[in-house]
Amino acid sequence: MASPPRDVTTPAGSDPASAARTAAARSGLLAAFAGVSCFLALIQIFCVFFSLIGIALNQPLAIIILVLILIISYLFATRFREPGTEQALTPSSKRANPLLTGVLKILGIGFLLWAGWVWLQLWILASLRPPYDWDGLYYHIPAIHEWVLAGRVLWIGNMMDIPFVSYPMGVEVCTFFMHHIFQTTRLVNACNLWYWPLAFLAVVVIASRLGARGIWKWLAGALVIGAPVFISQSVSCYIDIGFASAVMAAIAASCIFVFHKELSLWYKAILFAANVGLAAGSKGTGLPFAAVFFAAVIIGLLCVYGFKYWKTWRRQILIGVLIVLAIGGYWYVRNTIKTGNPIYPLQLKFGVNVLIEGYDHVLFNEANMPPWLEKYPPPTRMFISWLQLDAPISSYAPIGGMGYIWIAGALPAFFFLWIQILRKRRSTVCPIGEFAFLTALVLTLLIVQPAAWWARFTLWLHALGLPCFAVVLHQVVSRWPMAKRSFIPVLIGFLVICAAIWESQKTLQIEWKTGRIPQAQGTFGKFLSSQEYMFPGMAETSGFKAFLRARKIARSPWGRMGTLLGGVLAMPLGQREIRVLPRELEFEDISSLREAGVQWVIWDVLGAGEVPEILTREAQEEHAYHPAHDVNCHIIRL
């Protein structure tokens, strides 16, 4: 039984493995991880706080808040940094081949630079290419647009035809905040890129906890680019990358909370709660995930320190719950007050019993499943999807998407470490208790996750696999005995990393070509606008350009394709006020529009039926856009 957890920093233990892990934590790694976590969490807290007290955000106020957030994040990060040097974990490291180690480290640094270059390219692409993704145009962008108009995060009650604008949107809050800093809509596609450092550092922290040292732990974090969906979704408004990054960070913080014995319990609890709060606020799945994280941490603390010491950390757990509520709880409390359903508009179920009606998220996700995959038993679908390595790469990515790095590197390394542990029953490389905790936590999250066959929902699995891959590589290189058989794992590792580079480059090329105007010249060639990409020829419709120039417009309830037009009209963010009309119009509705200065109306026939007679009668001009059976809109000037 371990000694009770301490509330203050204490000297490291005498165990070599423990000392090495502690030394790694003393470096700037853990401080950087804590700082980034605090930075993203404080954006949520400040934006929601000012919204609740009714203060509208503007650029000067946003800059002041940003400076304050940076100062607090830096101060919080210093609580996790101490002077110390990293030690190697493997006692046989003296047998390592210096030449081989040096060459591999150079290659590792090269891969880190490549990962940084990929991130930079995605920033450039996000600033040049408008949004083309379905969900982004459907509800992510319209929600941010309404927030920008109001200057604060708020309940959007006038879009009953788009109920998902009321879904938890923590990642979008970051976009909302940065929009006020930079005053541009160009970064709306970069909502996930703000979370890349969090994912990178989380994986590095976990790799360090499991025993990877030197360049190898950093390599683990950089290898997230080996998952093609991680790249393709990063330049879209699908927020699964932001959610996955927060989950990875919460996994890392859980390990620190339970097993790091050198830090104050209070700081560990804040770090843990900050990342769980980020995950909880990112999307509805984050709520059950938060419950799993707290259950895992409590069980882990009981196993490590014993039940008799539970009073030592119970206050930290309770405060942690409050911090999670402050960061990610707003959405659930607000939705409960407004609708009685914390996860509105989704169905609230307990087992098979429906407690509150709503969209069935299970059926909703299964409707997107490829027909051929439905033929397989549900428990096998995830594994079959992983094997579709030649699947088309896109942000939607219904199959595949985890990358060659997952099948050829991460999974084999995970099983290899467990086989090694079980055969030797002890390991100086990988801490058995922490590895078991990490494995149990990730598997439990996987059970809770709906539609696990869809890679975009389970990218956080790399928080377990990539650190294992790095640990095995570090172990093989540091114990290099100059035997021929040792060449094989090094070669396999090298080939897997090369595959990750190739796949990331392939994904980048696809994204750079998507929406590109064929005759565009140069790297920064022109891209189609969202309207041109989704509704070709609409710009040539009579009256459309004048309609787009209007600062105030009205619309009917949307049909299926019309919802995408709603995203088009929401850009540039905050430029135009969009009123939603009822299906049955009265003369008072027309009078109200005129009093408000609204001259232009767009009516979606497929969503609201034929244009009402009263609207046609009061129209000065009316133009139709009906290029296909699923698109039929009328543009009307009053």
Question: DSSP characters for 45-101?
Answer: HHHHHHHHTTPPP-HHHHHHHHHHHHHHHHHHHHTT--------S-TTGGGS-HHHH
Assess if residue 195 is contained within a domain.
Answer: yes
Same domain, 43 and 189: yes
Q: How many domains does the chain have?
A: 2
pLDDT grade, residue 425 (50/70/90)? low
Assess if residue 5 is contained within a domain.
Answer: no
pLDDT grade, residue 382 (50/70/90)? very high
Same domain, 469 and 572: no
- Domain-terminating residue out of 471, 506, 541: 506
Assess if residue 524 is contained within a domain.
Answer: no
pLDDT attached to residue 84: 52
Same domain, 83 and 166: yes
Task: Please state the rounded mean pLDDT for residues 376-380.
Answer: 90
Same domain, 80 and 169: yes
What residue has token string 């995408």?
Answer: 564
Q: Which two tokens stand for residue 306?
A: 């014993």
Assess if residue 520 is contained within a domain.
Answer: no
Q: Which two tokens stand for residue 570?
A: 């929401």
Supply the mean pLDDT for the chain: 87
Strands 631-637 and 621-628: antiparallel
Degrees (nearest 5) of the Cα angle 533, 240, 380? 105
pLDDT tens for 7-49 read 544 444 445 445 545 554 446 899 999 999 999 999 999 999 9
Task: Please state the rounded mean pLDDT for residues 311-330.
Answer: 92
pLDDT attached to residue 488: 80
Same domain, 144 and 236: yes
Q: Which two tokens stand for residue 153?
A: 């995060």
Q: Which domain holds residue 541?
A: 530-637
Same domain, 161 and 239: yes
Same domain, 571 and 538: yes
Closest by Cα among 128, 176, 162 to 566: 162
Same domain, 72 and 158: yes
Assess if residue 519 is contained within a domain.
Answer: no
Same domain, 501 and 542: no
Closest by Cα among 99, 110, 215 to 500: 110
pLDDT grade, residue 357 (50/70/90)? confident
Dist. CA 573–CA 579, nearest whole Å: 15
pLDDT tens for 232-291 read 999 999 999 999 999 999 999 999 999 988 888 899 999 999 999 999 999 999 999 999
Burial class (CB in 10 A: 0-12, 13-18, 19+), 16: middle
Its pTM stands at 0.92
Per DSSP, helices labelled H in 449-577 are 462-478, 487-513, 530-534, 544-549, 562-569
Burial class (CB in 10 A: 0-12, 13-18, 19+), 299: middle
pLDDT attached to residue 9: 42
Lateral strand order in the sheet of 621-628 = 577-580, 552-555, 600-604, 631-637, 621-628
Judge whether residue 100 has pLDDT over 80: no
Same domain, 445 and 589: no
Strands 552-555 and 577-580: parallel
Task: Please state the rounded mean pLDDT for residues 489-496.
Answer: 86
Assess if residue 270 is contained within a domain.
Answer: yes
Assess if residue 119 is contained within a domain.
Answer: no
pLDDT tens for 572-629 read 999 999 999 999 888 898 999 999 999 999 999 999 999 999 999 988 999 999 888 8
Dist. CA 464–CA 486, nearest whole Å: 24
Task: Please state the rounded mean pLDDT for residues 298-305.
Answer: 90
Sign of CA pseudo-dihedral 209, 426, 473, 386? negative
Closest by Cα among 406, 386, 391, 501 to 453: 386
Assess if residue 424 is contained within a domain.
Answer: yes
- Domain-terminating residue out of 506, 539, 573: 506
Give me the phi and psi of 211, to 5 degrees please.
120, -5
Task: Please state the rounded mean pLDDT for residues 82-88.
Answer: 51
Same domain, 317 and 240: yes
Higher pLDDT, 628 or 82: 628
Same domain, 436 and 560: no
